[in-house]
Every structure is written in C-alpha cells, then in structure tokens.
Amino acid sequence: MVKSLADDAESGYAPGKRSFAWLKLKRDYIDGLADSFDLVPVGAYAGTGKRSGGYGAFLLACRVAAPGAARYQPVCKVGTGFSDDDLATFSALFERGAAAAPRGDGGPPTWLDLPASLPPHYEPDCWLATPTPPAVWEVRAAALSLSPTFLAAAGLLPEEPAKGLALRFPRFVRARPDKAPGQATSGAELAEAFRAQPEFASLRAEG
C-alpha cells in the first residue's frame, strides 16, 4: 500500500472509498516485474452489465510441453485489459467462425486437458471448440502460483507434482495474429518462469 503523507481529512483510510490518498500497488503495475505469455483462448464467458450481449471474459490455455503434442491446458481466466472494441471484435470473430459450442453441447474440445471438474466460476458458458485453438493472445501477469485446479505444467515441478500453475492477476495485452497456436507458451516455459520467482526459492527452503 502507498499512503499520502498529507495530514488532512482526505489522508485517512475509509473502507470502500476510492481516492488517491491510499493506493494498492501490485507487482504487475511496476514495469519490468511482469511476465508476458502467449496463450490461446479456449472458453468464453457471457458478459454482464455494459458487456452484455457478447463475451466478457475468456478461459486461456498454454501448450502442452511434450514435443509434437497438439494439446492445451487451461492456466487462467482473464477479463481485464480488453477495450470495448476488443470484446466486440472477439465476440463477432468467434461467433462468425462458428467456434462457440454452448456448454453441455458436445463438451470441451478434445485437444484440451481438463481436471475431473472445474469450479463453477471457471466453467465457461461456451467452449471455443474449433479443430484447433482459434487465436493466440499476449497476456501479462503479476505472478505464477501453484494451482490445485489447473493442469498447466503439472508434473514438471517435483516439489508439487500433483499441482499445476495458474496466472495471478492476468491482463490481456494484445492479439498475436503473427503466431500460430503451436507457438503458444508451453507448460515447460511456465514452469521455468515459476522457478525464477523469489517465491519458488522460499518454497524449496520450506520443503
């Protein structure tokens, strides 16, 4: 937290009140500390409020690390970083390409590795069930954390073999039309980025 040093009525803390007197500074707000990954959208969530009528968030996945494996593993749900134009473009693109399969209508894509069940808030309203992922997006995150839900990089971290990885505070940066899904970030690359974090060193020390 960053607090104003001004000694006045505005510098006091008031729960739920937004002001510039108290600011929460996240790691991904600091240039140079945020990681960037190329991920593929595999599911979509219906928008609410001003995002009604289209998609408001997406389930993103990394590529399975095995050479030649055309399979993908979810790693985060992202709903920030999109402009209204971005969401309108992506909603139209996926619908126009007949990429959206309603949940329960055929199930998830066969190329997607999922746990036995996803928590309700991660279950997408539709799967982007084309023969291959429909796009590649660049995403930044504050950190990578161990996840009991996602399978991304599962088995690549000896300290926690039963867990995968998830992106914390993910944010959409831009579409990557110059990249094919097979060039998306792999689970092995996520595991390497996780090991490079100071938190991983403390995890090993505790183990």
Q: What domains can you pick out in the chain, each with its CATH number?
A: 33-206 (2.40.50.140)
Is the distance from CB of 145 to CB of 66 less than 8 angstroms? Answer: no
Does residue 1 carry a pLDDT above 80? no
31/53 Cα distance (integer angstroms): 34
72/5 Cα distance (integer angstroms): 49
Q: What is the pLDDT of residues 152-194, one digit of tens each?
A: 998 898 778 889 999 999 999 999 999 999 999 999 999 999 9
Average pLDDT, the chain: 80
The residue-averaged pLDDT of 26-51 equals 75
**How many other C-beta atoms are found inside a 10 Å radius of the C-beta of residue 86?**
14
| 40 φ/ψ angles, rounded to the nearest 5 degrees | -115, 135
97/118 Cα distance (integer angstroms): 26
120, containing H or E segment: none
Q: What is the pLDDT of residues 132-161, one digit of tens each?
A: 888 999 999 999 999 988 989 988 987 788
What percent of the chain stands above pLDDT 90?
Answer: 40
44/41 Cα distance (integer angstroms): 8
Asked which of 27-36, 106-115, 143-152, 173-182 is least confident by mean pLDDT, the reply is 27-36
The residue-averaged pLDDT of 124-133 equals 84
pTM for the full predicted model: 0.79
Amino acid at 78: V
